[in-house]
Structure 1
Amino acid sequence: MTISTKELKQNRQVLIGQLAAFEGKILRGSLIESYKKCGKPGCKCATGAGHGPKHSMTVNFPKRKPENDYIPLEYVVQVKEYIENYQRFKEIIEQICMINREILKRREEL
């Protein structure tokens, strides 16, 4: 069964409404957790996982070098949330684009 153009446009409006819920709380990037070995003889890190965790965020840009920023421990939860929001934001945008392409294929007004 084919969904009507009217229903497509209603679905698009619902998705557009969901975008506002992010309130700008989005970050593009990847959060990286790492542990470092200090190299001091006899330090517990020599036989364990290392000192840490330390967190950083890496962002890749087209035609530019990746950027890497240290994230203080007190911001890690918030940064994770913002990165997850970015992924969801992208999914919603893609759904809106799919709806718009379908309407366009039907040669109807967007």
Structure 2
Amino acid sequence: MNQHKKEPGGSLGELSSRQLRARRRRALSRLPDLQGYLAGSLVEQSRRCGKEGCRCARGELHGPYVYLSVRRAAGRGSLVYVPEALAQLVRQKVVASEDAERLLAEISAINLELLARRELE
């Protein structure tokens, strides 16, 4: 079964072409401003500094620090430090980007269904 047919509330194949186009327009209208698109996921980590006698040596770690986990070229991932002052803003941008990806996947599934019907425009 194709992924786009596993929609909650029924398959896209059960909708008319007119309904599909209306659903696509609604999805497009819900897309956030992509200027702030920031793909990745947030990770919090606590750290040891390695200084002898520091509180972290007794188990009370420094942090938590926020990092953005991103994919780099060749599929390699890396962590980008997010300063505390920007953590909330980055969190909002990541959530908005996840919403955008979900909406784009929905639009793609609708277009795939329309293509299968030879009604893609």
Query: Is TM > 0.5 for Structure 1 vs Structure 2?
Result: yes
User: What is the Cα deviation at residue 66 of structure 1?
Assistant: 3.3
Match of 1:66 in 2: 77
Match of 2:119 in 1: 108
- Aligned match of 1:3 in 10, 15, 23? 15
Q: Does 1:75 align with 2:90?
A: no
Amino acid at match of 1:5: S
- Aligned match of 1:96 in 88, 98, 107? 107
User: What is the Cα deviation at residue 38 of structure 1?
Assistant: 1.9
Q: Does 1:24 align with 2:10?
A: no
Match of 2:64 in 1: 53
User: What is the Cα deviation at residue 8 of structure 1?
Assistant: 0.4
3-state SS of 1:70 partner: strand
Whether the 8 Å contact between 1:35 and 1:49 is mirrored in structure 2 is: no
Alignment length (residue pairs): 109
Task: Write the distance in 2 (CA, Å) between the matches of 1:28 and 1:109.
Answer: 29
Amino acid at match of 2:101: K
Whether the 8 Å contact between 1:35 and 1:54 is mirrored in structure 2 is: yes
3-state SS of 2:30 partner: helix
Task: Write the distance in 1 (CA, Å) between the matches of 2:49 and 2:73.
Answer: 34
Q: Unpaired runs of 5+ in structure 2?
A: 1-9
Match of 2:24 in 1: 12
Amino acid at match of 1:84: V
User: What is the Cα deviation at residue 108 of structure 1?
Assistant: 1.6
Write out per-residue CA displacement over residues 57-103 of structure 1, whole angstroms, 9 at most, x where no aligned residue. Answer: 22113426434322110111111111111111111001001101111
TM-score (norm 2): 0.78
Task: Write the distance in 1 (CA, Å) between the matches of 2:108 and 2:76.
Answer: 29
